[in-house]
Amino acid sequence: MTASFPGRFPDTRLRRLRRHDWLRRAVAETTLSAADLVWPLFVHDHRAPVAVPSMPGVERLPIEGVVRAAAEAVRLGIPAIAVFPVTEPTLKTDDGRLALDPDNLVCRTVHAIKRELGDTVGIICDVALDPYTTHGHDGLLVDGRILNDETVEVLVRQAVVLAEAGCHVVAPSDMMDGRVGAIREHLDAAGHEGVCILSYAAKYASAFYGPFRDAVGSKAALGVTDKKTYQMDPANTDEALREVALDLAEGADMVMVKPAGTALDIVHRVKTTFGVPTFAYQVSGEYAMIQAAAANGWLDGPAAALESVLVMKRAGADGILTYFAPELARSLGS
Ligand code: PBG
């Protein structure tokens, strides 16, 4: 930023530039459009949509519902969707091996979207074991510890399975060390050098993931345990930069900061330090807070949603994953 001298009152009156709507729009430094948004969607293996109680307005959708939502994203100018599977509890195992099954729900969903929409909408898939493990952790749990290198070996296979299914972007969300490099190497070896890696590089151990864990059913599984031995301590910022630096060195194409609203400082530091495509995830708890307050008449919901996402862009995010994506895109245009 260049230093500018603000002048003095009364020659300088900053309110002059706020006088009219056209003028405010003309001088706005940040603008938000549908192209800045990514729409996260939940898919389940049932015929009807089922509401997620802690995320009013969000439903777990059948595969056809996700395909329809993806088509809606195309119409609205939303460039990409992120697909999260809800696994039947009876299909979960200790080692989450369903993650490696090319016929699992998320792979079938990716196939269905590709069949209908080809490459007109980006498909982002999480790489992590939590949808598939009985204990709800993102990695392999042995004697109360999450194993790093053993987990990475499984994650690289999961990433290849997702790439074979046709997803455009794999997004490791597990926070194991060294997984980005290993995934890149295995994707390339399998002929998927065109598949991008969006690394959840700075992902904090956060209370704001609660409603998401309700939605995918990993909360009950996780019980009283937490993810603090692999997700980051919200007290830290330098560590976030180290995480991002490592992931970029290992070949991440894009990085993510999460949650977004409680880490705008991190979004800003990451973008200004590295100058790479930086995404911010407005997570389930952030969405739930706004929706709950709006439902009580305590907040203007649409205005709060728009403001909360706009400031993520202002902080430096090139793209924002948000459950408000379709509503925002409708009100913003592309
Ligand atoms: C799983 C994953 C989580 C989210 C995205 N991928 C939850 C977690 O780490 O427990 C959270 C998204 C949200 O809260 O909206 N690895």
pTM of the model: 0.97
275 backbone φψ class: left, alpha, beta (φ>0; ψ -120 to 50): left
Determine whether 92 is an active site residue.
no
* CA 212 to ligand 1 centroid distance, Å: 6
Out of 92, 114, 227, 258, pick the active-site residue: 258
Domain topology for 33-332: TIM Barrel (3.20.20)
Q: Looking at residue 1, what is its pLDDT?
A: 54
pLDDT by 10-residue block (mean), the chain, 334 residues:
77 96 98 98 98 97 98 98 98 98 98 98 98 96 96 98 98 98 98 98 97 88 88 98 98 98 98 98 98 98 98 98 98 79
Out of 92, 114, 203, 227, pick the active-site residue: 203
- Residue with the smallest CA separation from ligand 1 atom 8 is 209
Q: Looking at residue 218, what is its pLDDT?
A: 80
Cα four-point dihedral sign 154, 178, 139, 38 = negative
Question: What is the C-alpha separation between 248 and 202, in angstroms, rounded?
Answer: 12
Determine whether 271 is an active site residue.
no
Burial, 304: exposed, middle or buried (Cβ in 10 Å; 0-12, 13-18, 19+)? middle
Q: Looking at residue 302, what is its pLDDT?
A: 98
Q: Looking at residue 2, what is its pLDDT?
A: 61
Model pLDDT for residues 85-111, shown as the tens digit of each residue: 999 999 999 999 999 999 999 999 999
Q: Looking at residue 271, what is its pLDDT?
A: 98
Q: Which of 130, 146, 155 to mutate to test the pocket of ligand 1 (most atoms within 8 A of CB)?
A: 130
